[in-house]
Amino acid sequence: MLNRILVLDDNQDLLNIVEETLSYENYQVLVTSDSHNLIEIAKIFRPDLFILDYKVTGMKSEEICRQIKWHPQFGSIPVILSSAYFHKDINYETMGCDDVIAKPFGLDELVGKVSNLVSARA
């Protein structure tokens, strides 16, 4: 069975690249820019990993991450936070994410982080 990755970002070009890359690596990928319905989408898709954009339109990523981590169905699911706006003074771990990736990121780096978190859950 393929591991499922749910990706939230408001950049359609990035979503297309991430979907193509992770699909090529044998992951089942669902991409969305709908931050308000992410939990409902996740209930249907049942992801093994979330990748969230830090500055997504509609909701703050801290709130989205908290919703995921406090949800009884998704609390143990790893979350990668991606952002072009990383600051050394912000403690991203307090947001509940399991890893971070700075944009622009290399596809090998993305695949490595995804693989590490998915295999750690297995």
* Two tokens, residue 7: 């990706």
Instruction: List the pLDDT tens digit at each of the 122 positions of the chain.
Output: 689 999 999 999 999 999 999 999 999 999 999 999 999 999 999 999 999 998 887 777 778 888 999 999 999 999 999 988 766 666 777 778 899 898 999 999 999 999 999 998 87
Give the other-Cβ count within 10 Å of 49's Cβ. 24
Decide: 82 and 109 in contact? Cβ < 8 Å. no
Decide: 35 and 62 in contact? Cβ < 8 Å. no
